[in-house]
Amino acid sequence: MAAVWQQVLAVDDFEEDPRAQGARGHRRSVSRGSYQLQAQMNRAVYDERPPGSLVPTSVAEASRAMAGDTTLSENYAFAGMHHIFDQHVDSAVPRLQFANDDKHLLACCSLDGTLSIMTLSPPPASVKVTLKGHGGPVTDFAWSLSNDIIVSTSLDGTLRIWNTEDGRCIREVRDPESSELLCCTFQPMNNNLTVKYITVHFTKINLRCKHHLQVVNISTGKKVKGGSSKLTGRVLSLSFDAPGRILWAGDDRGSIFSFLFDMATGKLTKAKRLVVNEGSSICSISARSWISREARDPSLLVNACVNKLLLYRVVDNEGTLQLKRSFPIQHGSQLVHSIFCPLMSFRQGACVVTGSEDACVYFFDVERNTKAIVNKLQGHGGPVLDVSFNCDESLLASADSTGMVIIWRREQK
């Protein structure tokens, strides 16, 4: 397909009514409570910087001195493959993710209808438990904050809740019309988990194939009143900001929508729409409050099937996006995903990682104006669909369309 790449700068307003402000949540990695305030401060203090550049600070200078002379390229050098998992061979693995704040626990889902939870320590690495029960390909999953629960979606029209210790299916939430469920994410500020998995209220965002976003209480299986919205296409990607106030959704028609999430009621209010490229699938969205100590603007990392990895700046409290950078990759049709590196770097530079249809994993420094590639990992036998770092960045996992999962070990300095 010879799709014409164009960036549509116009942003459509869907609602004029004042937005209800939700309850105030904690701000783990948010530099300021307001995106608008952060943008105003950046403009006031750094108005002489080049357009689109990142924000240097005196704090970052001190942090860089603490880190020594190690470059970003040296920091993300890998010693080779640590382990290869092939339990899903011949079926694509569309998603994988390390558990929250964990070095050695990893999960992935497969189009063969199962999920795997893998442990990398103590050696040898092994499959801890296989989650079986879906009647169709598994499209997405998410870890709970305390890692004792996984929620998964499938083309069989069900959302399932799993105990990660023994692999039991705790609850099945079936779509009334058996619509395909394509993606899901936890609402970060309403992810209150205890050992009593069923009695605690969870809030979950999932997708119906009929172009609906729906907020669901997964402890009861009931839809949240006001937590539904229609969209122009099939939603393939979802991401909340850190405080859980803004939800971005990307569809298969090239649009990214932002929604305001009412923390008290679970209501979704459609706010903004950005057309990235008409007819292209927005298959990955990742939000970050800071990219690094030097890149202080809230940002969104997007894969959009346009042979580029896109980095956007979030400019206001309604999730309006402004293109900051793009990086060349091979990506025209597969559901390829990308991530921000989890640790804020003490070094100059900020790194993002993406899969690619050329069977490689790419690392990009978002601060470099030229030669932005920091590293390139080769070893997969098909398009790399997803990547995930563990919490201390010592291990990177990548999954491809052939069902292979590779664990890469970073060189020890």
1-43: pLDDT as tens digits: 333 333 322 333 333 333 333 333 333 333 333 444 444 444 4
Mean pLDDT of all residues in 101-111: 96
Kindly state the tokens that stand for 18.
């004042």
Locate the domains of the chain by residue range.
Answer: 72-410
Structure tokens at 282: 């927005």
CA within 13 Å, CB half, 374: 22
pLDDT band at 350 (very low <50, low <70, confident <90, very high): confident
Can you give the length of the chain in residues? Answer: 413
- Residues 6 or more apart whose CB falls under 8 angstroms from that of 160 comprise 131, 133, 134, 151, 152, 154, 169, 171, 172, 173
| CA 268 – CA 263 distance, rounded (Å) | 10
Query: From edge to edge, which strands make up the β-sheet containing 299-303?
Result: 284-288, 299-303, 308-314, 321-328
pLDDT given for residue 128 in this prediction: 97
Quickly state the pLDDT bin for 294 (edges 50, 70, 90): low
Q: Which of 396, 406, 411 lies closest to 98, judged by CA?
A: 396
Residue 197 CA to residue 158 CA, distance in Å, equals 18
Lowest mean pLDDT among 19-23, 75-79, 246-250, 406-410: 19-23
pLDDT tens for 301-318 read: 999 999 999 999 999 999
Note the pLDDT of residue 218: 77
Q: Which residue has the higher pLDDT, 347 or 161?
A: 161
Count Cβ atoms below 10 Å from residue 29 Cβ, excluding itself: 10
Closest by CA position to 204, among listed 225, 187, 223: 187
Number of C-beta neighbours around residue 380 at 10 A: 22
The predicted-structure confidence for 144-186, as pLDDT tens digits, reads as follows 988 999 999 999 989 999 999 999 999 998 887 778 889 999 9
- Identify the pLDDT of residue 376: 96
| DSSP percent split of the chain into helix, strand, coil, nearest 5 | 5, 40, 55
For residues 83 and 120, the answer to whether their CB atoms sit within 8 Å is yes
Q: Is the dihedral of CA 127, 133, 136, 140 positive or negative?
A: negative
pLDDT at 290 over 50: yes
Residue 137 half-sphere exposure toward CB, CA atoms < 13 A: 14
> For residue 135, what are the contacts with CB-CB under 8 A and spacing of at least 6?
113, 154, 156, 158
**What are all long-range contacts of 203-208, with beta carbons under 8 Å and residues at least 24 apart?**
203/266, 204/151, 204/159, 205/238, 205/240, 205/247, 206/153, 206/159, 206/181, 207/153, 207/181, 207/182, 207/183, 207/234, 207/235, 207/238, 208/175, 208/177, 208/179, 208/180, 208/181
307, two tokens: 């042979």
Tokens of 4: 């014409």
Of residues 236 and 20, which shows the higher confidence score?
Answer: 236
- Whole-number percent of the chain with pLDDT over 90: 54
Average pLDDT, the chain: 80
The structure tokens 């999932």 sit at 206
- Among 129-133, 165-169, 190-194, the least confident range: 190-194
Could you give the angle at the alpha carbon of 81 between the alpha carbons of 76 and 86, nearest 5°?
130
Choice between 62 and 260, residue whose per-residue pLDDT is larger: 260
Q: How far is Cα 256 from Cα 222, in angstroms, rounded to an integer?
A: 27
Tokens 């993300």 sit on residue: 76
**Is the CATH number of domain 72-410 3.10.150.10?**
no
DSSP labels, 336-384: --EEE-SSPPSSSS-EEEE--TTSEEEEEETT-SS--EEEEEE--SS-E
